[in-house]
Amino acid sequence: MTGRTLAYPFAWPSASEQPKEFAGLHDEPVVTVVLPSGDEALLITRYEDIRALLTDPRVSKNRNRPGIARMTTRKVKAFQSQVSMDPPAHTRMRSLISKAFTASRVERLRPRIQELADGLLDVMEAGPRPVDFAAAFAFPLSIQVICELLGVPADEREQFALKQTPPWDYMTDLIERKRATPGDDLISALIEVHDEQDGRLDATELHWWSTMLLLAGYETSANQLCSAVVMLTAHPDQLAKLTQDPGLLPGAVEELLRCQVVGTSLSMLRYVTDDIEVGGVTVPRGSSIITALEVANHDPSAFGCPARFDVTRSGDAPQLTFSVGRHFCVGAALARAELQVALASLLHRFPNLRLGVPADRLVRVEDAFTQGFQEVPVTW
């Protein structure tokens, strides 16, 4: 490690440009950073090192350990202390969740995603321009999709449309209603899923996962959609390629996820339970580390010309935006489906889509985790 210390999360120089700190950062495998809380942590910079650490049993996600760095000055997800995020308990939970959150369940939802997207685009097309893409499309679509998947009744979704965190008792009540009257939805499936050795998810686990899937499911996806629109409109040559050849869309979505201009890896804060060597540097036991996925996604050893946004990119390593290993995002299949359907529909309807204001007028949300845009005005 060198003597320099950087502030993390890194600042975005513009709406579509990557942080200047990425340049040369991968020359150092481990860099000291100061978090919004004022605490220090060690930032892991290289793609292969991050992949290895995310599957290393000496790296813990238990943020209740004494001495672990605080992400911010406020308590984040305090109720997480009720659920173990390390093996073997977490391994069991993931196994049970995976039995219910299947690729086939997501695929069955694609027609409904298409229907919802088309309805929102109808309203956009009929309304005034420019229109805020975040409020008119990205957030409503993401909210409706995750609520459809989980089985949240249509007349109870307004609280999420207002970006409010649901009352703790809401999910408890919804779970009890699903227990009494099961449906073809994910919460009903989670209630029923079990294994031979340990039985079903207990009440706390069920509540925690249902709430996390709901909250993370819509806000993250909505911000990724906004990021995709900002990146595509900032690179009209790439937007033209994608509009002219929709077959490029699956690969383009992966490139958009790699180059996303919202979100940070602050929530990837981990704790090292034993000495670990990282790129020739010893990370001592007790260290707080950040496996920075957006940094890994710009490692030149994994991606040719990583600063270049290219919807035809091929032959490089897989992007790590959904993480890897035991904490790989359980909603990755849903996020991909939502992005693919939404972008295909959007570009088909509005092939000359563009920002409705200069990119330098886009304002970010003051949040150390999402760093999304307050509004994304678009026109066509």
Query: Could you give the residue numbers annotated as active site?
Result: 216, 219, 221, 329, 338
User: What are the distances in angstroms from CA 212 to CA 61, 123, 220, 335?
Assistant: 16, 30, 11, 15
Q: How far apart are CA 322 and CA 260, in angstroms?
A: 12
Locate 261 and state its tokens: 């201009």
The alpha carbon torsion through 256, 331, 79, 157 (nearest 10 deg) reads: 90
For the chain, the 3-state helix, strand and coil shares in percent, each to the nearest 5, are: 50, 10, 40
Which residue in the block uniquely carries the two structure tokens 């036991």? 285
- CA 150, 154, 159, 162 dihedral sign is positive
Select from 224, 294, 204 the least CA-distant residue to 258.
294
Count of alpha carbons within 13 angstroms of residue 3, beta-carbon side:
0
Q: How far apart are CA 283 and CA 308, in angstroms?
A: 32
What are the φ/ψ torsions at residue 40 (nearest 5 degrees)? -100, 150
Is the omega angle on the peptide bond into residue 13 within 30 degrees of 0, that is, cis? no
State which amino acid sits at residue 209: W
